[in-house]
Chain A
Amino acid sequence: MKRINALLASIVLLVFVGAGAFAAAEPEADDDTISVGMVTDVGGVNDNSFNQSAWEGLQRAESELGIEVSYLESGQGSDYGPNMDTMYDTGKDLIWGVGFLMADAILEAATANPDTNYAIIDFAYADTPDNLVGVVFAAQEPSFLVGYIAGKMTETGTVGFVGGIAGAVIDGFDYGFHAGVQYANPEVTVLRQYADSFTDAAIGKSIATQMYLEGADIIFAAAGLVGDGVIEAAREQDLWAIGVDRDQNYLAPDHVMTSAMKRVDSAIFQISATLQDGVFPGGETFLFNLANEGVGVAPTSDIHVPADLLAEVDDLSQMIIDGEISVPFDEASFGEMGYE
């Protein structure tokens, strides 16, 4: 029986090793076509949020530019490094890391492999290597706009903000939203709570249920998959949620009022295209904002938001682009700009 034990154990091992070998044995790209890979963070490629948006950008690059594309999903934080290595081993010309959680893994890979190009969404390095590009979004700008909509649309005078894991990226959503609500109506109370997770839908649902219980009628979630739970609570309570990153109205057409969009797809498309043109801007960090249409309010907002309010939002958007309104992006700037 011991022998059968050992036999089974070795079969299991063989299956895993075999699977690994197959993954590594993907054909290398031809010299004339560029191949671009991306590694998702723990949200996975169908997160209804920015990982999915990133993959849509690459798929567009595949169909319009003929670039060869692929992705690897990270089940947990410890997968980032090995996924980076796998991408490198399959001979990618450019490797994207989607999300600030991967900042260290990418910097390490870029330093170790100067012959390949890397890029990261949502992170700006103090000192960027020549084969690495940082992409950041002015998330506070669309958040300000959806905050303005929430401030005008609330009937109870209370709205909520649910954050994922606190940090520079979510701060932009958080303080932008708070400022937008106050700009619309200083009397409105904003509840704020962090889930300390980007994946736990149950805690999102629980947090949102409590906020609705405390009188909120509109909740903005910038929390990846945690937001699924927030939208679920909105459906159950028949109240409103505001989506994030992508136009999330399709998730609950009667309960997602609007979405603060971060066009990760267009950023990935544009920067992958520079590689094909041979002008990859290694060492630089790019900011995508309202002015270059890298962020914005979801097009489906006109289903639930009245046209005159959307017209005001357009005016505000123009004022932000022109610099007449500056939007806070963290606690310090929030205080400096006179919000409280």
Chain B
Amino acid sequence: MWLSIAFLIGQTMMYASPIIFTSLGGTMSENSGVVNIGLEGMMVVGAFTAATVGFYSGNPWIGFLAAGVAAGSFGLLHAVACVTFNADHVVSGIAINFLGPGLSYFVSRLVFDGATQTRSLDLANKIPRPLDPLFGSNTFFELVLNRYATAYLALIMVAVVWFLLYRTKIGLRIRSVGQHPEAADTLGIHVRRVRYFAVIGSGVLAGFGGATLSIAIVSQFRPGLISGQGFIALAAMIFGKWKPQGAVLACLLFGFSQALVVFLGLRTQAIPTQIMSMLPYLITLFVLVGFVGKAVAPKALGRAFGEDA
């Protein structure tokens, strides 16, 4: 009983941590008024970069940071298109969702002898599990707390992004350019500069999310590793009403329902697996309809600065 609860909590964290990073990224970008559906593509770039750099440097943290840099540069690309050239945010995001995986596979083929799959890291070269030596195997605390460092980092990032958005000057500016960029402009805020910051930041966080999958949850990158997590993170962010604290709850709910599918799957053979695998989406839908009130997007979301409102 206790072990089952511990297993559920632990697996919830495992599933949730990559999408927490990414949905925080989405929160930053969208609060500044820039729609970012390119999160999925940025996650792929991050996952690939982390696995590749981690493999060659032998240090997972260098890989992790490199993932932030690589995906952040896709954030820059998105910012150039949407902020400087006022391109349609959705079109640019879709382009990034094609470009990110395409470029990753292409570079992978160059680096790994024609394979779109990186070579797997040794356990010692993956993101460490800091609490690993503290607990005996398969005890309550081990199952709950023996997580990869990225899981803890994801929770810390929630507080960081919350603090940034609601307790700092730059956070206030991000939110104001997302609500009414023209008004912010008359107050002397560099609307485009603030949006650049937020969009690049969202790329960096999405890259961390991808890295969490490729060098903590598993130990290599391959096509299909990121299959929809970026979109789930986007949904979680909307579900969480464009707030970091809301988004993290949505991610945890989604992670919990995934863990529940695995937990029930072994115990009830009566329910077909196809029905079971719908569970996370059904739970999310019911909670969204039943318990979460109306979500209000930032007013200037998706609208270019300087265009007629």
Contact = CB atoms under 8 A, between A and B. Distances in A.
Interface stretch (B168-176, B199-207, B212-220, B282-290): B212-220
A202 B218 contact: yes
A213 B143 contact: yes
A49 to B, nearest CB: 11
Interface in A200-235: 200-203, 205-207, 209-214, 225, 228-229, 232, 235
A251 interface: yes
A225 B224 contact: yes
B85 A8 contact: yes
A181 interface: no
A205 B18 CA distance: 15
A201 B217 contact: yes
Interface in B138-163: 138, 143
Among A16, A43, A202, residue most surrounded by chain B Cβ atoms (within 10 Å) = A202
Nearest to A201: B218
Contacts of B111: none
A16 B91 CA distance: 13
Contact of B259 (A1, A16, A206): A206
B86 A4 contact: yes
For chain A, give the interface size range.
Answer: 35 or more
A236 B217 CA distance: 11
Given A5-B87, A9-B91, A193-B262, 6 more contacts: A1-B307, A12-B95, A196-B277, A203-B261, A206-B258, A237-B137
A61 interface: no
A73 B265 contact: no
Interface in B42-60: none
A205 B218 contact: yes
Contacts of B217: 201-202, 205, 229, 232
A139 B210 CA distance: 35
B224 A43 contact: yes
A9 B88 CA distance: 8
A44 B7 CA distance: 32
A5 B86 CA distance: 7
Contacts of B138: 212-213
A45 B265 CA distance: 30
Given A5-B87, A73-B223, A75-B223, A46 B117 contact: yes
A1 B266 contact: no
Contacts of B220: 228
Given A193-B266, A205-B218, A206-B11, A8 B81 contact: yes
B123 interface: yes
* 3 nearest CB pairs, A to B: A46-B117, A196-B277, A196-B273
B262 A210 contact: yes
Given A12-B91, A46-B116, A228-B218, A196 B7 contact: no
A191 B274 CA distance: 19
A211 B265 CA distance: 11
Nearest to A46: B117
B86 A199 contact: no
A250 B81 CA distance: 44
B222 interface: yes
A206 B259 CA distance: 8
B120 interface: yes
B14 interface: yes
A45 B123 contact: no
A210 B7 contact: yes
B197 interface: no
A46 B120 CA distance: 13
B86 A1 contact: yes
B174 to A, nearest CB: 22
B199 to A, nearest CB: 16
A9 B94 CA distance: 11
Contacts of B116: 44-46, 73
B222 to A, nearest CB: 6
Interface string B219-243: 1101111010000000000000000
Contacts of A45: 116
A209 B224 CA distance: 21
Nearest to A43: B224
Among B87, B224, B225, residue most surrounded by chain A Cβ atoms (within 10 Å) = B224
A166 interface: yes
B90 to A, nearest CB: 10
Interface string A37-57: 000001111111000000000
Contacts of B266: 191, 193, 207, 210-211, 214
Given A206-B259, A235-B123, A9 B277 contact: no
Given A44-B116, A213-B143, A207 B265 contact: yes
A202 B14 contact: yes
B14 A42 contact: no
Nearest to B269: A192
Contacts of B272: 166
A189 interface: no
Contacts of B165: none
Given A42-B224, A210-B262, A196 B81 contact: no
A210 B6 CA distance: 11
Interface string B73-95: 00000000100011110011011
Contact of B262 (A16, A47, A203): A203
Contacts of B88: 5, 8-9
B106 interface: no
Contact of A4 (B11, B15, B85, B95): B85
A200 B123 contact: no
B223 A229 contact: no
